[in-house]
Amino acid sequence: MTTWRRFARFDWVLFGAMLALIAIGTVAIWSAGNARAEAVFHGMWRSNLVTALVGLGLYFAIALTDYRRLLDFLAIPAYLVSLVLLVAVLLVGDTIYGGSRWLWFFQPSEIAKLCVIAALAFFLGDDRLLRGSVRRGFRGFLLAAALIGLPVALILAEPDLGTAITLVPSALVMVFVAGTWRKGLVTLAAIGALAALVVLGAVYEAEKPGVSPERRARILKCVPLRPHQLRRVRVFLFPERDVTGAGYNLRQAQISIGSGGLTGKGIGKGETNHLKYLPQAISMNDFIFCVWAEETGFVGSIALLTLFGALLLAGCRVALVASDGRGRLLALGVTTLVFAHVYVNIAMSIGLVPITGLPLPFISSGRTFLVMVLCGLGFVQSVSLHREEKQS
């Protein structure tokens, strides 16, 4: 097939939205970095831009290569390497803020997310590897559970609950669409949702006004949360209780977003950010949406959400028109992962979900995550470009 005919299927909406988001992210990081006293952060936008250019190179390299060939040669080795890296980060990784998540200059957990998606697409998307009856049955579910469970267990051991929160839904959506043990999968999802509600209810019962210290201690003893996770859930349930302590970050994030008004205060003029009311340690990554919302207001926030919506709809369209199961699952997995990051990051900034350390795709400062997202979208573009070609 000629290159010209192949590029006729290039998804320009996906690519255009991606470039626009990279540009917004660079501006937001410039503004957040200039608010910090340390000179090293003033040039973080350049580092982000260089990382984006490297990621775009990988994006095109992946997009121009048939995704089926990439999965055949790389899915299993990449998955195994990601497990080795996750073990290595637990043994010799750098400990920052109580967690071992960095191995030298990158985060293995971010790489593992894409490797799990590729492995699931490889095994569940092709009847030549798993017969339909096996893939749809309990044995297919056990294989998928093992592929998901091993890296998730290692990620939780770091501990990094936020990464697991985004990886598990993305993987489960792929397993469901592949038709793998759907009745059991729905049952397990319902049990998981019920367990989460029980934990929230237990924390609420323990922390509500009037509860004795003895009863509080008895209840919290049964709650499977680490101390920092318990504090975040407490802030989520009772945001007004400790606005100068545990709830300070959420309170300042909401003030930043609300103070932007309709059109914002102007790029680089956000008072909450530049006066350092918004915590500087997270203004460039976890809470960067607050910086953008304050400086561009409701209009800028809607524009950002529109770009994310266009990106996600383009990814869903590629999944719908994919010519085989591998391409469909691969595009759907990457798109769901991006959606999970966007939803959780913005929702935690406005108090809809408990605060967790998750970057906003293309906007937050984070080299490993940015490269991973660009590579993932390169796979989605590859599915669009090569969908009409015969599988070798």
pLDDT of 331 higher than 90 = yes
Least confident of 267-271, 275-279, 328-332, 377-381: 275-279
> Residue 156's closest CA among 101, 205, 116?
101
> pLDDT tens-digit profile of 93-122?
766 655 567 777 788 889 999 999 999 999
Neighbours of 102 (CB within 10 A): 17
CA distance 370 to 268: 23
- Is the pLDDT assigned to residue 254 strictly greater than 90? no
Average pLDDT in the 362-377 region?
92
**Mean residue pLDDT across the chain:** 87
User: With 60 as the cut, is the pLDDT of residue 2 above it?
Assistant: no
What whole-number distance in Å separates Cα of residue 110 and Cα of residue 184? 28
pLDDT-derived band at 362, boundaries 50, 70, 90: very high
pLDDT band at 391; cut points 50, 70, 90: low
Q: What is the pLDDT of residues 13-54, one digit of tens each?
A: 999 999 999 999 999 998 888 777 676 677 788 888 999 999
pLDDT (0 to 100) of residue 183: 84
What would the pLDDT profile of 214-226 be if each residue is shown by its tens digit? 888 888 888 888 8
Neighbour count for residue 208 (Cβ, 10 Å): 11
Residue 288 amino acid letter:
I
SS3 category, 100: strand
Range with lowest mean pLDDT among 95-99, 181-185, 353-357: 95-99
pLDDT band of 1, cuts 50, 70, 90 = low
> Looking at residues 314-339, what average pLDDT do you find?
94
Closest CA to 85 of 370, 373, 372: 372
